[in-house]
Every structure is written in structure tokens, then in C-alpha cells.
Copies of this chain bind each other. A is one copy, B any other.
Amino acid sequence: MLSKETLTKLFPDWEDGLYDAILNEAELKEAKAGTTLLKMGQNIKSAMLVVEGTIKLYQEDETGGEYFMYHLNPGEACAVTLVCNYHHEQSQVLAKAVTDIQYLAIPIEFMEKWLNEFKSWHYFVIKTYRSRYEELLKTIHEIAFKNMDERLEFYILKYVKQFGAIVNLTHQDIANDLNTSREVISRLLKKMEHNGWIIMNRNSFDWIKK
């Protein structure tokens, strides 16, 4: 059950009335690791705030390709679902649960209302957009200027920062996230192993580069 204590820990800067509004209007939902929470083109009916676990955000191609952009952690929100002004907005991102997660779903009719009512909500929305904008800039920097070996390193470092130095991903997983093929990832990881950057195991590897 959702408690005010949980909320104050996750969102320490909010004003009191906002906690109550959340307790009244938000639904606490759960999802298993691997679940797709939002597809591109899908109508957005509620805002999504992460309570527990990690979500990955992707750009999705019509032909099935995916490109990983950033993680969402507890206390963070999916920017695209913090819609103001319009209903029937379509998602331009793909969101997947990487771990089992809990999240708050807030019907979008409250978004406009809360922007008026709660200053701290207003700040939260701006902070969210700002930080996600910065993540997108980093992503563009990677894709526009770096070769696959550097992008792979950048990708692994993001993983390591989130989950620690033991990378529990198959080559295929990584290839999907970087919109390339398994063979390419296999060969590049082999190079990293030769360079002494990683120790490879089946289904995982350890990042040991200092």
C-alpha cells in the first residue's frame, strides 16, 4: 500500500497538498521485469512515476529497431507522460521495465490541474524535462560522433553505474539496445577482453577497466 512516508522519501521537495493529491488520485501499479509499459504511437492515459525498480526508455523504429536512451529510477518520472494541455497525445518513446517495478499512474486530466495548484509539481515537471533533455543530448552526441566501440563502452558504463560491474546481459541484448547485430557486439567485446577491460563469462561479463 502506498504511504505518505514512501512519497516523502521519493519526492522530498513536494508540498503537503501534493502528497495528498497523489494518495487520492494515483494508482500504485506493479509490473514484472521485461514488461513493455509504453509503446510508440500508443495513446497516453496516465503519467508514470517510478516508485521501485528501473525502467529503460527507448526510441523505437517502425521496422522493429530500438535504441536505448536512458534509465528511470525511483523518484523519477517519464517526461513524455507528464503531458500538459492535450489529451490523445501519442507516446514517442518505448518504455520497458528492466526489473520488477512499482509505479504510480496518474490520469492525465490531473496534469493541467496540478500545474495550477501545486508549485512543487510545476518544478518537478520542469526538472524532469530538463534532465531528460540532457540525457537525449548525450545520446545524440554518441550516435552522431562515435563509432560502435565507443558507444558500446558508453553503454556498458551506464549499465555499470545502474547495476554494478557484473554485466548480466547477453550480446544479443546489447545489440538490440544499440540497434546493431550480435556479431558486432561479440567482436567488440572480444577486443575489450584482449585489452583487459572485461572478463567474459557465459551470459555475463565483468567490467574491470579502471
Contacts and interface: CB of A to CB of B under 8 A. Distances in A.
Interface stretch (A44-52, A59-67, A153-161): A59-67
A140 interface: yes
A132 interface: yes
B140 A143 contact: yes
B141 A140 contact: no
Nearest to A80: B133
Interface in A126-150: 126-127, 129-130, 132-134, 136-137, 139-141, 143-145
Instruction: Report the interface size class on chain A.
Output: 20 to 34
Given A126-B84, A140-B139, A140-B140, A67 B145 contact: yes
A31 interface: no
A95 interface: no
Nearest to A93: B137
Given A144-B59, A144-B65, A92 B137 contact: yes
Nearest to A67: B144
19 contacts: A59-B140, A59-B144, A63-B145, A67-B140, A69-B140, A79-B130, A80-B133, A84-B126, A84-B130, A115-B123, A116-B119, A122-B122, A125-B126, A133-B136, A136-B136, A136-B137, A140-B140, A143-B144, A145-B179
